[in-house]
Structure 1
Amino acid sequence: MTITFGRTDTSTLGRWWWTVDRWTIAALFLLVGVGALLTMAASPAVAERIGTQSFHFVRRQFMFLAPALAMMIAVSLLAPKQVRRLAVLGLIGSVVLLALVPLLGAEVKGAKRWLTVAGMSIQPSEFVKP
């Protein structure tokens, strides 16, 4: 079964296919592939050194990979005005999380930089980096 999109296809997916920058998508998937390869090469030694299963970090990387790619594609389907609104909401959410760090942050190696959300620890400063 082959999925093809003609230039006259006005569906959301058809319009996306003809307007998305395919070189950027190719570069994105190349980076994801290289990152996965490097994670598989480097993380078993680190995992064994700290006493976890050898592919612990590889599994975690792939666990977050599918939702991240789905989110990237979903955002690329939005109109530019919707992307700007989403960016403003993301900025506001990031600033709120940064404000919560001194109050609710977990101390790791003497520094309060992490928040625990739904069983995961996140570092809110990562969301506000350029």
Structure 2
Amino acid sequence: MTNFSRADRSILGLWWWTVDRWTLATIGILMFMGAILVLAASPAVATRIGLDSFHMVRQHYVMLPAALAVVIGISMLAPKQVRRLGVLLFLLFLGLTSLTLVYGAEIKGATRWLSVGPLSLQPSEFLKPTFAIFAAWMFSLKLGEHGVPGSAISIVAYAIVVSILLRQPDLGMTAVITAIRYGPDG
């Protein structure tokens, strides 16, 4: 099946035997399906808005290798590194999401996008997974004997995030954040 033995102590060998290969395969299948759907759906949209019919397809295919590199890179991190990165990115994207209230471009009545030159970014889309990492860490502290009020911290973070999202307004993202915080284990 692979050329990596369990005794292999290289970075790739350790990664291969510790990564959840089912999750990795699922992500690969989703990326493949997304590539096919973009190929099927986006030419009509691109033509309608005055772009080359394969403009969005090319953009999507250019970003796929970068996305795969990010997925593999993050899957190589230790849990402690994932928590640290998650908290740093949570704070970054919380700040960027709050900036949309002041500097955001209004599209269809909502200010969710930040534009810097030709690039546009919806920070709340990145806030969602980083909030999940942050909240999961706080839930784990709640269960342990660390002396950290993890539940209270996650509730405060939830309140801050939701207050920003409701001011955009972004009800769908608010529902997702609420499901993360108050889902089955929240």
**TM-score scaled to structure 1, two decimals?**
0.90
Letter of the structure 2 residue corresponding to residue 33 of structure 1 = F
Counterpart in 2 of 1:125?
A: 124
Q: In structure 2, what residue type is equivalent to 1:10?
A: R
Q: By how many angstroms is 1:105 displaced? A: 1.5
- Partners of 1:97 and 1:124 lie apart in 2 by 6
Q: Deviations over 1:23-50 (max 9, x none)?
A: 1111111111111001101111111111
Displacement of 1:117 after TM fit?
Answer: 3.3
Could you tell me which residue of structure 1 aligns to residue 70 of structure 2?
71
Q: In structure 2, give the amino acid aligned to 1:96.
A: G
Question: 2:10 — aligned with what?
Answer: 11
1:97 equivalent in structure 2? 96
Alpha-carbon offset, residue 96 of structure 1? 0.5
| SS state at 1:44 partner | helix
Aligned-partner Cα distance in 2 for 1:106–1:23: 39
Give % identity.
55
Q: What amino acid does structure 2 have at the position aligned with 1:68?
A: A
CA-based RMSD of the aligned residues comes to: 1.6
Residue identity matched to 2:50: G
1:30-109 alignment, distance < 5 Å: 30-109=29-108
Distance of 2:28 and 2:60 partners within structure 1: 15
Aligned residue identity for 2:76: L
The one-letter code of the counterpart of 1:81 is: K
Matching residue's letter, 2:82: V
**Alignment partner of 2:113: what SS?**
strand
Q: Give runs of aligned pairs for residues 111-122 of structure 1, distance below 5 A.
A: 111-117=110-116, 119-122=118-121
Matched letter for residue 101 of structure 2 = P
Deviation (angstroms), 1:111: 3.2
Q: Deviations over 1:5-61 (max 9, x none)?
A: 111111111000111111111111111111100110111111111111111111111
Q: Which residue of 1 aligns with 2:139?
A: none
Comparing 57-66 with 70-79, which one deviates more in the overlay? 57-66
Q: Which moved more, 1:58-67 or 1:109-118?
A: 109-118
Question: For the residues of structure 2 that align with 1:75 and 1:25, how far apart are their CA atoms?
Answer: 11
Deviation at 1:124?
A: 1.5
Q: 1:118 to 1:77 in 2, by over 3 A?
A: farther
Q: Mark the runs of 5 or more structure 1 residues left unpaired by the alignment.
A: none
In the other structure, the counterpart of 2:150 is none
